[in-house]
Amino acid sequence: MTFPKRRSGCPLVREADILRQSLDLLRIRRVLAWRNNTGAVSATYQGKERFIHFGVEGGSDILGILPRHSRKPGVLIALEIKVPGGKTTLAQKAFLQNIEASGGIAAVINDVVKLDELLTDLGV
């Protein structure tokens, strides 16, 4: 896949592209995984303006469960997607640390190749 170029000549990689490629790779590797949306929205419900929060603060972009044939079957995997050089927030770091402390797999992914290597290491 080719990406548009920045003025400096470096490719412009979007987080959405990495996210989509990661979900595609997980599907190919037969990992049950889904996009985990978090945030808030202002909406009108029954004539009243409401501010609705959804998801867990700092929740990872992708959540999934490792398949039976992996080295850690049934374990939760949490993937925070960032562009190369992108930084995680304190809430995102805390979420990833809580996943690992609970026995899950947590990673920051800034390139689908890194995810491919992680899945190979996990026997997926």
Domain with 104 in it: what CATH number?
A: 3.40.1350.10
Pairwise CA distance, residues 106 & 96, whole Å: 5
- Going by DSSP bridges, is the β-strand pair 62-65/76-81 parallel, antiparallel, or unpaired? antiparallel
- Summarised one tens digit per residue, pLDDT across range 76-86 is 999 999 999 99
CA distances from 40 to 36, 37, 46 (A): 13, 10, 18
The pLDDT of residue 8: 54
- Of 81, 82, 84, 77, the closest CA to residue 106 belongs to 77
The pLDDT of residue 52: 84
Q: What is the mean pLDDT of residues 28-50?
A: 92
The reply to whether 107 falls in a domain is yes
How many domains are there within the chain? 1
The reply to whether 5 falls in a domain is no
How much of the chain exceeds pLDDT 70, in percent? 91
What is the pTM for the complete model shown?
A: 0.83
Domain boundaries, position 19? 15-121
The reply to whether 93 falls in a domain is yes
Question: Residue 5: is its pLDDT beyond 90?
Answer: no
The reply to whether 98 falls in a domain is yes
